[in-house]
Amino acid sequence: MSQKKVILTGDRPTGKLHLGHYVGSLRSRVELQSDHEQYVMIADAQALTDHYDNPQKVHDNVLEVAIDYLSVGIDPKQTTIFIQSMVPEIHELAMYFLNLVTWNRLKHNPTVKAEINQKGFGDAIPAGFMTYPVFQAADIAAFHADLVPVGDDQRPMIEQTNEIVRSFNRIYGQEVLREVEGLYPKVARLPGIDGSAKMSKTMGNGISLSEDPKSVMKKAKKMYSDPNHTNIDDPGQVDGNPVFIYLDCFCQDHDKLEELKAHYARGGLGDGTVKKYLGEVLVEFLEPIQTRRAQLEQDKGEVLRILEKGTLAARERAAKTLALVKEAMHLRYF
Ligand code: TRP
């Protein structure tokens, strides 16, 4: 058996993945896969907690997200990609975890609170939604994960997981489950093209990995930049300017970028010029990803085979954990 550290992470399949996902998590998954035992989960069951009335959307996006993963270079030979709902052991584990969390604690999860407001549930919050952090703890614990690379917004989920793991080990004994460490992106998160703090599917302010070049150029031209830079000859603000944040993430020509920044800061460089350059940088970055996507779209059978194989492997792993858990809980009768 390998001594590699275990990584578990995942996404809700509610839309195609975008550049924010790339910067926030996809990139590090590609980097980490060679020297870790990595599991990447397509969290369709979690997606249903707020899309229960739209199963077709979730279903269709499972394949889209899988294709996104493979297109950016997540390698099924090194990473186990699987579908959450097809690993029922996770859900059984979550059921036992539910006893270890109070309702009050769930209500105070900051991410859940923010999402409740954003989704406008009002008083009609599905119980499945309120409890999804517990299921997420089970996602993680089922694989004895050491590391969970996620965005900053997922910090409360990691805390919640460790609280549950500690309770479990205290009550049911020994070191059955393992505490986990969140791995957060070093760089600031990618803002939306409208300048808002986060690129998000729901807000429609993103550039997807499968966005066609024309649309990428159009969106780059529309990007929010320094609102006070109305006169080309005036100095512009580089720090915190989304156009430059994007260029910092995607431009490979560092000398040219430094030159552009200096020119923009001193005045004389128009936003139109910088944005056009950004568009070209993004189109170039996306090109190989989109070439791979086009190939995979021609061979969806292969994508499904990869998912099936990954899901079988994930099930085996989760079943082992569940057996240990049930043993510790005195749930073995014959
Ligand atoms: N909650 C994560 C998101 O919204 C998706 C997710 C589900 C996840 N289960 C997970 C992430 C387990 C990390 C580990 O993006």
pLDDT tens across the length of the chain (334 residues): 558 999 999 999 999 999 999 998 899 999 999 999 999 999 999 999 999 999 999 999 999 999 999 999 999 999 999 999 999 999 999 999 999 999 999 999 999 999 998 888 888 999 999 999 999 999 999 999 999 998 888 999 999 999 999 999 999 987 899 999 999 887 768 999 999 988 887 788 999 999 999 999 999 999 999 999 999 999 999 999 999 999 999 999 999 999 999 999 999 999 999 999 999 999 999 999 999 999 999 999 999 999 999 999 999 999 999 999 999 999 999 9
Q: Is the CB of 101 under 6 A from ligand 1?
A: no
Largest pairwise CA distance in the chain: 81
- With contact defined as beta carbons under 8 Å apart, do 321 and 93 qualify? yes
Phi, psi of 38 (to 5 degrees): -110, 130
Query: Ligand 1 center to residue 69 CA distance, Å?
Result: 15
CB neighbours of residue 222 within 10 Å: 10
Cα(85) to ligand 1 centroid in Å equals 13
Other CB atoms closer than 10 Å to residue 255's CB: what's the count? 7
- Cβ neighbours, 10 Å, residue 82: 27
Alpha-carbon distance values, 161 to 155, 166, 180, 183 (Å): 10, 9, 8, 14
8 in contact with ligand 1, CB cutoff 6 A: yes
Has 219 been annotated as catalytic? no
Angstrom distance (rounded) from CA 296 to CA 68:
10
Our answer to whether residue 320 is catalytic in this structure is: no
Task: Map residue 45 onto helix, strand or coil.
Answer: helix
For ligand 1, is residue 87 a contact (CB within 6 Å)? no
Cβ of residue 50 lying under 6 Å from some atom of ligand 1:
no
Distance set, CA 84 to CA 109, 179, 284 (Å): 22, 21, 33
Closest protein CA for atom 2 of ligand 1: 11
pTM for this model (two decimals) = 0.94
